[in-house]
Chain A
Amino acid sequence: MMTFSLTKKAGRLPLSYEIGKQMHKIVSAIFLAENIKKIEIEAPRIAKKRKAGQFIMIRVGSTGERIPLTIADSDPEKGTITIIVQGMGKSTRELNSKQVGDTVSDIVGPLGTPSHIEKFGTAVSIGGGVGAAIAYPTAVALKEAGNYVITINGARSKDLVILENEMKTVSDEAYITTDDGSYGFHGFVTQKLQELIDSGKKIDYVLAIGPIPMMKAIAEVTRPYNIKTMVSLNPIMVDGTGMCGGCRVTVDNQIKFACVDGPEFDAHQVDFKNLTDRNKVYLPEEKQSAEAFAHKCNLQ
């Protein structure tokens, strides 16, 4: 076994180690909320290269599927990236069952077109549920570019709120909303955004990431005011490199491949219905996989 000290002083690491690392080790793993885990994992090259808005494809084990996850954060010195994973079905739950020291088979990235970052003026970054994890790195980049950053972090209830402190740190104004009113603003992120607009604040840019209905609703809030609004789409992906077309979405009546042309698109042009429908294509199989995985876990 070759060992390398993962510090800058050690000089360049061989490319084969940096990119082609086969088994990526998990260096920290903690639950942020029920079912949502923050995982820091070795991926030196990606840690150096990634930009806000980009993602990785990860394959947990040798029979695993390739699933896309946003790079929430990275530490180029340590050679690690951070992902925040919501247990949805088999693959994400299996990933969330991993502990420090465990490995995953494959990670490839950084993929996707980085978020378009410029000094817009006042930028609102909205994250719904685990979407906050995806919105966070872009909020950081927006702040670094000199924007006045407002974040709205929405969750169903208090214990599902993630990244509260991180969001506060990057924001000039940070809001939490909960559907049940157990914390922060009682209501949806859309209502909070509407309130901000109604208060006369001049908003130049909105980024919204979360469940499809939420992103669609945000698009409708900003449309009448012509506020530039971007959303990060989550179609089902296979390769993540533009080779299969499985991730195609309809934007401005044209086919786009979310993994290379996106994942961020102009919210006012996205056909959300088509995306919602297409994401249902494997419902029975996903259920079957998840049940088999739950069964296996119970046996252990």
Chain B
Amino acid sequence: MDPKQLTTKERFAIPRQEMPTQKPDVRNKNFKEVNLGYSQEQAQQEALRCIQCKDPSCIKGCPVNIKIDQFVKLIADGAFLEAARKIKEDNVLPAICGRVCPQEDQCEKMCILTKKHKSVAIGNLERFAADYERETGNVKLPTVKAPTGKKVAVIGSGPAGLSCANDLIQLGHSVTVFEALHELGGVLVYGIPEFRLPKEIVKSEIEGLKKLGVEFITNAVAGRSVTVDELLKEEGFDAVFIGVGAGLPWFMGIPGENLLGVYSANEFLTRVNLMKSYKFPDNDTPVFNCKGKNVAVFGGGNTAMDAVRTAKRLGAEHAYIVYRRSEAEMPARLEEVHHAKEEGVEFLMLMSPLEFIGNEQQWLTGVKCLKMELGEPDESGRRRPVPIKDSEFILPIDMAVISIGNGSNPLIKQTTPDIEVSKKDTIVVDIDTMATSKDNVYAGGDIVTGGATVILAMGAGRTAAKAIHEKLMGIEGDE
């Protein structure tokens, strides 16, 4: 049967291919990747489900407008490398986005099949193509334009910084990335755990950039090691891109948050992912010993899911998600919620923490919570949780992880006062160019939007790269 000859009806008849995974009761004890990836047959089957719309609505759902219909067709035709390259025209980190994009809210939400059937598994296919290219060793380095003699500094090596560096180097500029930590990758490395995004993948993307000539300087904190003004005035950079992320963990402001055993999600995940404390004592950094203990994670986003599943893997007896609203309002990717449940994570919805309680040695022993019910919708359209009278109770826990979001790190603001920031301390930019209020300084990613997504950060990095290029080369912009 020639696949191209399939009728629409026949395409509808193919079931959405399930992502093979490690078994829940096996994977909740290891840090290896949960999703195993499609086989070639599965990928082709899944790709055949796409009816190749004339005006593909899926593309409008993708923040960087990947030519989804085209790459999916290439997979259906077995042209996997070509598919990967097609994706890379618009997305420089497909192996990563295929894994971590909230597809159900983006490309897959807009897929025409979503209404009556299940959407095409665009994310899984994107991952497949990118993995195929990488694993077969066929990653083709893009060509780099002749040197322009211009120097750009990129601050932060998260998805925003990496994608900005990628575009700029290809345009012939010299690019130096400054990273505060001792490892590159931003949240992709210190936040998102290995079981969801293997660090090898991030590494190989960064290796690719190094081969193109991007220079990386780790242990360089902008604002401390070097300031934005020094980069521009003393170090000879023609432009600076700031992609420092949203890296200042919020606490809840309730009593007992400084008890022993209470962590921010950033601290817990950084200890485990970046410092590899799950390998303690072979690695020196310790982390709370979760074995046989009760752990509660407060929040409902991807970070909360990562933290709770990490605690489970470290041996927690009970690993709870405690969330103020109901499951429908949780911002986490559906797949993560589903995986967490399979792994034995317990979801306590409509519950608001009032106070952490500790023993004499100041170790956490429990959290006093209040039960909530859903009331009227608030400004965001989500139904507001309202407390149920006299419903207080104490949940016994030994460790708590607070995962209610991040604000902006103050270092750049303090040392570069002429960059305009909002009330929330995010950097204010012109959204068409990502230009800040300071000449030749651009910004993008979580430092502009507040905690958002990998693909949005990446898109912002690319927008900025284009604008920086036009500015440096004296090219008139689109407008």
Contact = CB atoms under 8 A, between A and B. Distances in A.
B206 to A, nearest CB: 14
Interface in B174-211: 176, 178, 180-182
Contacts of B221: 108-109, 111, 241
B112 interface: no
A292 B270 CA distance: 24
Interface residues of B, number: 47
Nearest to B362: A277
Interface residues of A, number: 46
B388 interface: no
Interface stretch (B26-34, B281-289, B371-379): B281-289
Interface string A69-104: 000000000000000000000110000000000000
Contacts of B217: 15-16, 19-20
Given A19-B220, A241-B411, A46 B247 contact: no
B281 to A, nearest CB: 5
Contacts of A250: 258
A110 B283 CA distance: 25
Interface stretch (B94-102, B120-128, B261-269): B261-269
Contacts of B263: 246
Interface in A248-300: 248, 250, 255, 260, 274, 277-278, 280-282, 284-286, 288-289, 292
A59 B34 CA distance: 31
Given A49-B225, A278-B260, A108 B220 contact: yes
B233 to A, nearest CB: 13
Contact of A242 (B248, B257, B288): B248
Interface string B322-349: 0000000000000000000000000000
Contacts of A16: 176, 215, 217
B220 A255 contact: no
B251 A255 contact: yes
B368 interface: no
B285 A242 contact: no
A64 interface: yes
Given A107-B219, A242-B247, A245-B266, A280 B260 contact: yes
Nearest to B231: A15
A245 B268 CA distance: 10
B260 A281 contact: yes
B452 interface: no
- Quick one: which of A20, A45, A248, A280 has the most chain B CB within 10 A? A20
A143 interface: no
Contacts of B247: 241-243
B153 to A, nearest CB: 9
B180 A241 contact: yes
A173 B83 CA distance: 76
A285 B286 contact: yes
Contact of B285 (A19, A65, A107, A288): A65
Contacts of B266: 243-245
A162 to B, nearest CB: 26
Given A243-B249, A246-B264, 11 more contacts: A19-B226, A49-B225, A63-B282, A109-B221, A241-B181, A241-B221, A248-B258, A255-B257, A255-B258, A260-B410, A292-B281
29 contacts: A19-B225, A19-B226, A63-B282, A63-B283, A65-B275, A66-B182, A66-B275, A106-B218, A108-B180, A110-B224, A111-B224, A238-B267, A238-B271, A238-B285, A241-B224, A241-B409, A242-B247, A242-B248, A243-B266, A243-B270, A245-B248, A260-B409, A260-B410, A274-B362, A278-B362, A282-B286, A285-B289, A288-B281, A289-B280
Interface of B: 176, 178, 180-182, 215-221, 224-226, 235, 247-249, 251, 257-258, 260-261, 263-264, 266-267, 270-271, 275-276, 279-286, 288-289, 361-362, 409-411
Interface of A: 15-16, 19-20, 22, 45-46, 49, 59, 63-66, 90-91, 105-111, 238-239, 241-246, 248, 250, 255, 260, 274, 277-278, 280-282, 284-286, 288-289, 292
